[in-house]
Amino acid sequence: MHRRQIIKGLGASSLMLGAGGISAPLWASGNHRADVIIIGAGLAGLTSARYLKAQGLKVLLLEARKRVGGRIQTINTHGIHAEVGGLQIGQGYGLMRTFAQQLDLPLVSLGQYAEQNTFVINGQRISADEWPTHPQNTLAASEKNTLPSRLYYQMLSKGPEYALPWDWTSEKYAPLDISLEAYFKQQNISPEALRLMDANINALSLKELSAADAFYRLSLARIGGRGAQKIKGGNSRFIQALADDLTEELLTAKIVTSISQSSDKVAVRCEDGSQYIGKRCIITSPFSALKDVDIKADISPQKRHAIQHAQYTPVTQVHFAVKNQADVSMVQATNLWTDNALGRVFSQVDDAGELRYLTSWINGQQAKVLDRLSTSEAVNIVKKALDKHYPGLKGKTEVVHHQSWANERFSKGAYIQFAPGQVQTLVPHMASIEGKLHFAGEHTEFMYSGMESAIVSGQRAAQEVSERL
């Protein structure tokens, strides 16, 4: 069945990847049995479980964390529902919007998650109006009028555009499967522009991101449109609503250590010694975390390679509550873009629209540096940078949360990105069925982006299983 047909139909409703068979004890009586075992209770896993349960199948959902949601998590503090994971529900998120409506979960604007209009370059604070003629602006003459926050998309917009976003793996685009740095150098982009783009790129670095991947995501962004929203009260409400109907099927704190399959069964063993038997298995874990699972099964060399080498973007966040609402008025430009460890600063509003919260969002190489430090050391560096660049708020903010997705055991990164050469070699195998093993998650679905891709992938994997049982 064509992928678009599948989506249409569904919308209506220690790495040791060793080969070999399964040992007899895994099939011993007393093991917990189900028609389908689903690993991971994030968006993809929950979506798959609900779909298959509705088909009358016995489902078992195993989640390593003590909570559901995966890379979606809302923290509730100081009157704010702050997202530390999946944030925005784009206009193109058709399924997620439909489900939210069905679950009676209203959407609200992201508020002040707007483009930054003030910059810190080489330690100097610069407004958007000052930037074109500022001494710190050492861009090439043709680049000088482009704001630092817009450089990346401006330079990408001059490049090729895919006929369709999902056409990006076709052979005709193979020449673009080089580093974005190499591609930009071919276009004579200035060294300073490269430096500034690298400072806040949503990837590891220009050098470690395939240009084909970058153009693909730009195509998706153009389709998705503007006006992003989130669930009122936090995106975790969406997760919890999905999980509410799965209380009997869901087990948390189940850390999978091995997966095996025979001609008619799949066995999943957990760190606590428990083991589960199913007819089929859907794996939604990011490949970055799946590398820690011993897969004792005949899976293709291409899939093994993808699991081993797929890379994920590090994202580190530090969340600050403003102790006194009135203090916010001292901040002339709340949203800030920097070329230092503070990354990008976004303001957040409560459901009433009042500004009371700041989030420092750090990507790529800056995040990697912070991730090598202890939590206290990383937070201290970011807090000092915040105090320096927001002097009116010095001593008037409180750190309420630190999040390193790269250091999170069951994620090891925020989202998939493809290195040079990987679009042609990895992407075609991310979602491939391997015997009785099916794969879902945002890293396996490329017709959509973000949370929507996770939902679509969960339904696609569930459909695959349903057709085979």
Candidates 205, 204, 274, 242; CA nearest to 70 is 242
**Homologous superfamily of the 3-69+234-307+420-468 domain (CATH):** FAD/NAD(P)-binding domain (3.50.50.60)
pLDDT in tens, 219-237: 888 776 566 889 998 999 9
In this prediction, residue 18 carries a pLDDT of: 30
3-state secondary structure the chain: CCHHHHHHHHHHCCCCCCCCCCCHHHHCCCCEEEEEEEECCCHHHHHHHHHHHHCCCCEEEECCCCCCCCCCCEEEECCEEEECCCCCECCCCHHHHHHHHHCCCCEEECCCCCCCCEEEECCEEEECCCHHHCCCCCCCCCCCCCCHHHHHHHHHHCCCCCCCHHHCCCHHHHHHCCEHHHHHHHCCCCHHHHHHHHHCCCCCCCCCCEHHHHHHHHHHHHHHCCCCEEECCCCHHHHHHHHHHHCCCEECCCCEEEEEECCCCEEEEECCCCEEEEEEEEECCCHHHHCCCEEECCCCHHHHHHHHHCEECCEEEEEEEECCHHHHHHCCCCCEEECCCCCEEEEEECCCCCEEEEEEEEEHHHHHHHHCCCHHHHHHHHHHHHHHHCHHHCCCEEEEEEEECCCCCCCCCCCEECCCCHHHHCHHHCCCCECCEEECCHHHCCCCCHHHHHHHHHHHHHHHHHHHC
CA distances from 400 to 74, 176, 316, 363 (A): 12, 42, 14, 19
Residue 442 has a CB neighbour count (10 Å cut-off) of 26
In this prediction, residue 163 carries a pLDDT of: 77
Model confidence, pTM: 0.90
Q: Which residues of the chain have a pLDDT value below 50? A: 1-30
In this prediction, residue 90 carries a pLDDT of: 86
Residue type (1 letter), 96: M
In this prediction, residue 6 carries a pLDDT of: 38
**Spans of all domains in the chain:** 3-69+234-307+420-468, 118-224
CA distances from 72 to 106, 169, 237, 315, 327 (A): 17, 28, 10, 13, 30
* DSSP-assigned beta bridge partners for residue 339: none
